[in-house]
Each structure stands twice: as structure tokens, then as C-alpha cells.
């Protein structure tokens, strides 16, 4: 098992452009989470999936953000019309979905909006 | 709403010193509590957890006890090593089995030889 992977690891984009990130969870994990982390802060929850169903979205997730998990495996997070305030580390995590189970985190995608 | 507050860092200790990182929480119901650690250049990983009051989580010499009366989950280690240098995050999962984690802001620990 190779763990949770994310692609790309780094993304620099100009304000107003669209970006898409990919997360590949651990294969047998039903749940997939997206978090955002800014410098000096802890991760903040954005959204999560149980298989292919998106079950909760944070109020942090504006209309410019969309996430999918089309076949209950990998997930994508798209940000449209990026703003400088979107600059952050975007973390993906997966878990089995059992109560209080461990979430396995990927290395993150660092987004810089210029 | 649910929230987690950690002591501010950085914390700088000499090797073999005693470590305490304070964590308090606000939550409705009966949350589960976690400590995650991020070593330099690596992703977040679970260090320990406790799922009910008075439970003690432990791993790699670290311990934390779920204290409902003080809404705390302080992290302790009796003798730190240089390899413990990392950022430590306290987190809670609220009731409802969503798995959604609410994190504290993190505490950086630097251990000097």
C-alpha cells in the first residue's frame, strides 16, 4: 500500500485561473476528506465523501470550489477564478469510516496564487 | 460550535526534558480526541487517540488523558529526544461519526541535543 497520494505537489497560478487537484486515497478506504491549511494554523475541514457521495461541505467552501469522487476512488478538488486568499496547502485524507478511526493524510498540494 | 485550543509555541527543550503541550476543547456531546504529529518534510500522522472520558491514549512514549471535567487532552512525554522535533496538533471529532476533524493551531516542538 503506497498511502494517500496527491498531485500536483505544488501549483503556482495567476489570479483568476482555474486549478484542479487530485487525491488518490488508500484503496480500501471508504471515506475521503479535504482540508485546507494556511501557514501557522491547523488544517480546516472543507468537505468529505463516503464512497462517491459528498456528505458535508464546510461554509469555507465557496461556490468557486467543487469536489468530486466519481467512482468512490480518487477525488478532485477544483477552484475556479482563484483569488490570492486561496493560497494554502490543500490536504487530502482517507479512512475506513469506522468510528474515531485514523485518518491517513497525503503530502498535500501547495497552491500559490499570484 | 466545536473548537480546540492549544498552547502557543514554539516549545524548545533539551533532550531528556519533560514535555507537556496543553490542549483544551469545546464540544457538544462526547467527542473523540486525537493528537496528530507532522515531522519535518512529512505528512500528518496519528500519534494517539482517546474516545471516551478517562481514556488514556499512548504511543512512542507519549501519553494523553481525556479529562471531561476540565475539557482537556494534554500531551505529555517523560523524556524527549531530538527526533521528537515536529509540529503537534490536537484535534477532536464531534459526535455523529462524520469523521470530520477540528484541529488546534499546532505547537512546534524543537528538541536540542
pLDDT digits (tens, 9 = 90+) for B77-88: 999 999 999 999
Please say if the pLDDT value at position A17 is more than 90.
yes
Q: How far is B30 from chain A (nearest CA, A)?
A: 12
pLDDT digits (tens, 9 = 90+) for A60-99: 888 999 999 998 899 999 999 999 999 999 999 999 987 7
- Mean pLDDT across chain B: 95
Question: CA triplet A90, A31, B57: central angle to 5 degrees?
Answer: 85
Q: Give the closest of A56, A101, A105 to B44, CB-based.
A: A105
Query: Is there a contact between A42 and B44 if contact means CB atoms under 8 Å apart?
Result: no
Confidence band for B68, pLDDT divided at 50, 70 and 90: very high
Confidence band for B95, pLDDT divided at 50, 70 and 90: confident
Confidence band for A36, pLDDT divided at 50, 70 and 90: very high
Output the pLDDT for position B76: 98
Contacts of A104 in chain B (CB under 8 A): 45
Output the pLDDT for position B96: 77
Indicate which of A37, A103, A104 best probes the interface with B, i.e. most B CBs within 10 Å of its own CB. Answer: A103
Q: Nearest Cα to B85, choosing from B3, B5, B10, B29?
A: B10
Q: What's the CA gap between A79 and B29, in Å, rounded?
A: 34
CA-nearest residue of chain A to B42? A107
Please say if the pLDDT value at position A1 is more than 70.
no
Indicate which of A100, A102, A109 best probes the interface with B, i.e. most B CBs within 10 Å of its own CB. Answer: A100
Q: Give the closest of A42, A45, A48 to B106, CB-based.
A: A42
| Cis previous bond, A90, omega within 30 | no
Cell of B59: 504511543
Dihedral, A99, B21, A104, B66 alpha carbons, nearest 10: -10
Amino acid at each position: 500500500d503506497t498511502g494517500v497520494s496527491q498531485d500536483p505537489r505544488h501549483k503556482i497560478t495567476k489570479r483568476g485561473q482555474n486549478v484542479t487537484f487530485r487525491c488518490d486515497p488508500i484503496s480500501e478506504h471508504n471515506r475521503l476528506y479535504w482540508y485546507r491549511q494556511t501557514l501557522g494554523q491547523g488544517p480546516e475541514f472543507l468537505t468529505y465523501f463516503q464512497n462517491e457521495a459528498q456528505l458535508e461541505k464546510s461554509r469555507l467552501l465557496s461556490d468557486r470550489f467543487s469536489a468530486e469522487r466519481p467512482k468512490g476512488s480518487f477525488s478532485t478538488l477544483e477552484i475556479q477564478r482563484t483569488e490570492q486568499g486561496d493560497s494554502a496547502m490543500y490536504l487530502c485524507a482517507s479512512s475506513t469510516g469506522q468510528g474515531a478511526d485514523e485518518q491517513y493524510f497525503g503530502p498535500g498540494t501547495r497552491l500559490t496564487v499570484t | 460550535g466545536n473548537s480546540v485550543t492549544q498552547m502557543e509555541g514554539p516549545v524548545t527543550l533539551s533532550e531528556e526534558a519533560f514535555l507537556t503541550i496543553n490542549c483544551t476543547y469545546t464540544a457538544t456531546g462526547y467527542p473523540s480526541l486525537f493528537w496528530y504529529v507532522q515531522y519535518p518534510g512529512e505528512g500528518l500522522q496519528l500519534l494517539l487517540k482517546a474516545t471516551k472520558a478517562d481514556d488514556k491514549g499512548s504511543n512512542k512514549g507519549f501519553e494523553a488523558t481525556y479529562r471531561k471535567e476540565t475539557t482537556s487532552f494534554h500531551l505529555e512525554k517523560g523524556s524527549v529526544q531530538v527526533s521528537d522535533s515536529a509540529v503537534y496538533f490536537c484535534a477532536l471529532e464531534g459526535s455523529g461519526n462524520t469523521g470530520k476533524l477540528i484541529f488546534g493551531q499546532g505547537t512546534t516542538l524543537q528538541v536540542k541535543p
